[in-house]
Structure 1
Amino acid sequence: MGSTFISLVGCSVGPDYKPPKLEVPQNWKWGEQKPDPKGSHSREKPQIEEKKTAWGGNDLQGEENIKRAIEEARKNPGKWKLAAPKDFVKKGQWWKIFNDPVLDQLEAEAEVANQQIKMAMANVIEARAGVGAALSAFFPHTNFTPSYQRWKLKTHLPWLPFILPEPIFSTVPLLGQNGIPIPSGSIIGSTQYYGFQPTLNMWQVYLNSNWELDIWGKLRRQLEAAKAEAQASQAELEGMKLTIHADVAQAYYLLRYIDSQLEVMERMIHVYEDNLKRVEIRFKSGLSNELDLARAKTDLSRIKAQYIALESHRAKVENSIARLLGQPASTFHFPRKPLKEDPPHVPQSLPSDILEQRPDIAQAEREMAATNAMIGVAYAAYFPSVNLNAYFGFFNTDFGQLFTWPSNSWIYGPLIDLPIFEGGRLLANLMQARAAYEKAVASYRETILSAFEEVENALIGMRLLEEEQKVEDEVVASAKKQYDLALDRFQRGLSHYIEVDTTESVWLNAILTDIALRGERFIVRIALIRAFGGGWADSSMKKPSFQQNQSKN
């Protein structure tokens, strides 16, 4: 009998959590080697088209093709592997690869003062407290409950006439009305249900204890869910830190390349002013017409307006940095620091397993485990709950006699609660828990797909932005030469100012675009680091100390 009880206590209803398998490509499409339209990338296209044909609805052999595809997938699992998040791996201060002390200082301030990080830390503490609350359900709950009540009863109870009066015996010797002593144990009266006293005092002091036996594993499933939620909140904290550090770095380099553009525009304003003076001199001497003069004035006004708009954009970026650092925007000022250096090298041929250290993936996986455990909680509600209750205390209408032994009272025994009719509530809760799990699985897979999308987009940016800037450097040089030739022709009277106007605008736009590309190359590297999960050092790529169980299928 004891072994049967132990086996019952040891069981847990509901599905045990198993990490899902995910499709993980072996290489990045835009890694170190650029995709060749005539190479291996194009050779995959006929395979995709062949799969579409095999699964097409018009194919008479579609069912056989599906069976063969399933059988082949079972024999050759290929790119599918079990989910094994590694968000616990230390990423380090990845921003130090930029070798910028100012950025290091900003990141340090954001680490300790950012309010979103503090909110995420509070969520971690809250979730850990939830684990303690779930763990407390395994222990008996005992309460000390003293109370006092004053009752008012009816003096006439017509619904009790069938109860016969009962004699009342004295417990101590008494003195009768005539002075005759009455020994203890004598009858001194009888209960009269038609003569209750109208008020009554009731004093109670008792201990009440309740212990729920976890026979069906409901409490264990609740604890399992609480632990998973606590781990998810920790991953959320790491993800928030990664996001804030990346936002600070990106805003910092955005601000710096805007400073570079402002520096260029200040020089170009002087160029436009000099050109306006040249046109005015030629206009006064009759060598230029009024249209050339109007164009020169328009060009100068336009570039000044662009300069003001760029200053406005810089101020907004500066305010965003202040918020990330936990400082009021009104008191934060960042001096100008034009961007001159080239971005550092970031490896692009890392294995796709590095995505397992992304905090958002780990958070989604832990939330999936939590919702799976709640299925067991909903399923356990179908089974009877068993509670061991115990009660011991004292109660009496006379406070002076409250703590005497005749005033004691006690109760103990099991209480079984078996649901009979709930109006469909239990089934609805179970369906809700299962739907929540399916939703968590879909969210987890969507997070994986988003991670690969972010990495590929960042890799595209790293490769193509570098190539684009090389071309843009040539555009700047050509535009400068074109402008010099146009200005020379204008000064010699061989052309109108419209040539200078056009080439000058092309030259300015080429310079601004070249600076923007340099800044975007910094920003896209930060985006790649964020997409990788915040680190790629050799120490970060070591295997975890424990072994992950992987399915053989």
Structure 2
Amino acid sequence: MRALPVPAALRPLFAALLLAGCASAPVYEKPGIDLPAAWQSDEPFQAAAPDDGALKGNWWEIFGDAQLNLLVQQSLARNQSLAAAAARLAQARSQVTVSSAGLFPQASLQAGAARQKTSANRPQNAYDVANQSTVQNNYQLGFAVSYEADLFGRVGSNVSSAQASAQQAAADFENARLVLVAELAADYFNLRELDSEIAVLSESLLLQRKAYDFIQARHQLGAATGLDLAQQQSLLDASRTQLELLNQQRAQYEHALATLTGVAAPSFKLTPASMALTPPPLPVGLPAQVLQRRPDVAAAERAVAAANANIGVARAAYFPSINLQANGGWDSNQMSRLIEAPSLLWSLGAALTQTLFDAGRTDATVAIAKAGYSGAVANYRQSVLTAMQEVEDGMTGLATLRRAQLSADASVAGSRRVLELANDRYAGGVETYFDVIAAQQTLLANQRIAVQLRGKQMVNAVYLIKALGGGWR
């Protein structure tokens, strides 16, 4: 089929449109990445459908802890890091307005008044006319309208980049919120685990003190040796030392919670409370669904889109910039005659600017933009891989800790029975008190391991929810 000839009058327009197509940013496509079809864990995690439009609900309420809920609300209202993230989001959204303003004409109004004296010795404009010194007024009132014709996509690419950056800032804010709450919840459950461990050790100290009094009474009657008494005293001292260390660790978590909730550490106090730490069942979706929910992955993808638009901004420098301008107003040496027809002035014009030589600056700018895009793609793919790792770690960790918890509970029950038998045999004179000491230490160690495992399960559940992007509705 024979192509129709282009009329001569329209050839410049077609040439401009062709150049505009060359200058625009590449068509954006979300970077591809290979994802597994399922997780490795064979644990019976409940399947769930993604809900990326809801970021992400009050996911911490799944733990059913009123104190935790209160601390989270305080941190969301007072935390300064989150406030800084909100300020960055407001800046990014305002930058969209700044960039979008370039799509429209810019209008300005000016007014001025001056009294001036000219020099009689100034250079002459004509040799047959002598210069004279004059003193006169000058009143001006005018307006100007200018517009950059965005034929080559520079302004449009700037707008696209600003919009993608604003979306990235929104995702960064959601990620800051998610990280803040996850860190607070993890610190809170670590503190409560220490409360439970302190309670176990305090109860053990009471039993050890009673045992010490019992041995002391027997020693006074000659039925127990000084070695038995010294061994029990040593056990008491060691347990008191451990208690002091646990209290010191608890204080550090309490101070961290104070900072996260926006309160000065000296003014913050959380009442100790031993509690049953049982992680809730967590629904887990497919690997591909995690990408729809993780705000950090979303932020990395929006950074790719912004970098792609920046290529268009850089390419536009290869092509001319076209500016249209209209000016008008009045100029008079008398205020009373300013708004009169003879005082009217105006101008219409267009300016085209094309860089002919810049020593490779534009080429380098385009290369920088392309390298930035490649780096953003790599960061996005790395964030996806990190997300896969964190979810897999969380699921494997919960399954492993759950099995370890069953063994630890069985160990506590067994060591408690051994202590009862050792006490009975010592009271009957069958065994030495060294066997009772060993049984006490074994029970205490197993109880603390069981409590620590429960705390680790709670913290692991928090980090799994974080890895999933904030829990599921």
Please tell me the TM-score bracket, short chain as reference: 0.7 to 0.9
CA distance in 1, matches of 2:463, 2:269: 25
Q: Are 1:288 and 1:496, in contact at CA under 8 Å, matched by a contact in 2?
A: no
1:469 is aligned to: 405
The offset of 1:364, in angstroms, is 0.6
Residue of structure 2 aligned with 1:196, choices 118, 130, 133: 133
Q: Which amino acid aligns with 1:375?
A: I
8 Å contact 1:358–1:532 — kept in the other structure? yes
CA contact (8 A) 2:175 2:296 kept: yes
1:128 deviation in Å? 1.7
| Structure 2: distance between partners of 1:513 and 1:380 | 65
The 1:211–1:219 alpha-carbon spacing in structure 2 relative to 1, beyond 3 Å, is: same
The equivalent position to 2:39 in structure 1, one of 28, 37, 40, is 28
Write the deviation string for residues 406-435 of structure 1: whole angstroms up to 9, x where unpaired: 333222110111112334332332222122
Q: 1:346 and 2:282 equivalent?
A: yes
Amino acid at match of 2:60: W
Greater mean deviation of Cα atoms: 516-525 or 335-344 = 335-344
Give the aligned residue type for 2:289: I
Mapped partners of 1:146, 1:464: distance in 2:
77
How do residues 204-353 of structure 1 correspond to structure 2 at under 5 angstroms?
204-285=140-221, 290-340=226-276, 342-348=278-284, 350-353=285-288
In the aligned structure 1, how far is the partner of 2:30 from the partner of 2:137? Answer: 62
Q: How does the TM-score come out when normalised to structure 1?
A: 0.75
Counterpart-to-counterpart distance in 1, 2:109 and 2:19: 29
Q: Distance in 2 between matches of 1:389 and 1:229?
A: 31
Question: Are 1:365 and 2:301 an aligned pair?
Answer: yes
Q: CA contact under 8 A between 1:361 and 1:447: conserved in structure 2?
A: yes
Letter in 1 for 2:130: Q
Whether 1:133 aligns to 2:98 is yes
- Whether contact under 8 Å (1:8, 1:215) holds in the other structure is no
Given that residues 120 and 236 in structure 1 are in contact (C-alpha distance below 8 angstroms), is that contact kept between their aligned partners in structure 2? yes
Contact 1:124 1:233 in 2 (8 A): yes
Shift of residue 376, structure 1, vs aligned partner: 0.6
Could you say which residue in structure 2 is the equivalent of 1:435? 371
- Given that residues 8 and 216 in structure 1 are in contact (C-alpha distance below 8 angstroms), is that contact kept between their aligned partners in structure 2? no
Q: Is the helix fraction higher in 1 or 2?
A: 2
Conservation of the 8 A alpha-carbon contact between 1:128 and 1:230: yes
Over alpha carbons, which structure has the higher Rg?
Answer: 1
Q: Which range moved further: 304-313 or 280-289?
A: 280-289
Q: CA deviation at 1:232?
A: 1.2
Q: Secondary structure at the match of 1:381?
A: helix
The secondary structure found in structure 1 opposite 2:62 is helix
Q: Is the 8 A contact 1:134 1:222 kept in 2?
A: yes
The residue type paired with residue 393 of structure 1 is: G
Residues of 2 paired with 1:279 and 1:200: CA distance? 115
Deviations 1:75-129, CA, capped at 9 Å, x for gaps: xxxxxxxxxx974345333333333344334434444444333333333222221
Q: Any idea what SS the aligned residue of 2:33 has?
A: strand
Shift in Å, 1:236:
1.7
Partner of 1:98: 63
**1:31: Cα distance to partner?**
4.0
What corresponds to 1:526 in structure 2? 462
How far apart, in 1, do the equivalents of 2:317 and 2:17 lie? 19
| 3-state SS of paired residue (1:514) | helix
SS at match of 2:347: strand
SS of the residue 1:307 aligns to: helix
Report the alpha carbon displacement of residue 5 of structure 1 after superposing the two structures with TM.
8.0
Residue segments in structure 1 that go unaligned for 5+ positions in a row: 35-84, 166-190, 538-553
Post-superposition CA distance 1:29-57 (Å, at most 9, x none): 124279xxxxxxxxxxxxxxxxxxxxxxx
Calculate the aligned-residue CA RMSD, in Å. 2.8
Q: Return the offset for 1:218.
A: 0.8
> CA contact under 8 A between 1:206 and 1:391: conserved in structure 2?
yes
* Alpha-carbon displacement from aligned partner over 1:306-326 (angstroms, at most 9, x marks no partner): 212222222232333333333
Shift of 1:383: 0.9
Paired residue total: 457
Letter in 2 for 1:422: D
Question: Does 2:320 correspond to 1:384?
Answer: yes
Distance across 2 between alignment mates of 1:86 and 1:8: 42
1:218·1:376 contact (CA, 8 Å) conserved in 2? yes
* 1:510 alignment counterpart: 446
CA distance in 1, matches of 2:146, 2:319: 19
1:16 equivalent among 27, 34, 53: 27
Cα distance in 1 between the residues matched to 2:357 and 2:136: 40
Decide which moves more: 4-13 or 354-363.
4-13
TM-score normalised per structure 2? 0.87
Range moving further from structure 2, 485-494 or 331-340:
485-494
**Distance between the aligned counterparts of 2:161 and 2:298, measured in 1?**
15
Partners of 1:327 and 1:441 in 2: CA distance: 39
Matched, 1:121 2:121: no
For 1:491 and 1:151, how far apart are their aligned partners in 2?
116
Structure 2 residue identity aligned to 1:103: L
Q: Does residue 1:88 correspond to 2:53, yes or no?
A: yes
Match of 2:14 in 1: 4
Residue 238 of structure 1, CA deviation = 2.0
Deviation at 1:19, TM superposition (A): 0.8
Runs of at least 4 residues off by over 6 Å: none
1:460 to 387, 396, 402: 396
Aligned partners of 2:262, 2:232: CA distance in 1, in Å?
A: 46
Aligned to 1:479: 415
Deviations 1:244-277 (A, max 9, x none): 3323332332222222111111111112222332
- One-letter identity of the residue aligned with 1:29: Q
Instruction: Provide the rounded CA distance (Å) in 2 between the counterparts of 1:4 and 1:414.
Output: 19
8 Å CA contact retained: 2:277, 2:458: no
1:323-373 per-position Cα deviation (integer Å, ceiling 9, x unaligned): 33334434433333322253222235x311221211111111011100110
Identity of aligned residues (%): 31
User: Which amino acid letter does the alignment assign opposite residue 28 of structure 1?
Assistant: W
Report the AA paired with residue 458 of structure 1: G
